[in-house]
Amino acid sequence: MEGRLFRFIAVERAPGRARAEGEEVMGRRSTWTSKDDDQLRALAASGENSAAIAVRLNRTPAGVRKRAMDLGVKLAGSKREVGLKAKGK
């Protein structure tokens, strides 16, 4: 490592922004469990959209849509489900 200079920057948290106990760090992915997948399937089958499912599973709507696509699960309100085409097609 000769000839390399490394810098370390200390980052301080702003006053009043202490992380609450149990609060997760942004950007960390939470692994989908089989229980999560089952809940996603059940909520999708009951007609819930990605936003409602995201709230129930404590995930983002985009994460829910991605997982649903990976599992082949159709979500309510999707353009594909109602037969709409993308603009310009």
Output the average pLDDT for the chain. 78
Question: Given this model, what pLDDT does residue 55 score?
Answer: 95
Domain ranges of the chain: 34-78
Q: Please name the residue that has the structure tokens 């309510």.
A: 76
Q: How far is CA 37 from the centre of its chain?
A: 13
> 74 to each of 12, 13, 60, how far by Cα in Å?
44, 41, 17
**Worst-scoring range by mean pLDDT, 12-16, 35-39, 43-47?**
12-16
Question: Given this model, what pLDDT does residue 77 score?
Answer: 80
Where residue 30 falls among pLDDT bands split at 50, 70, 90? confident
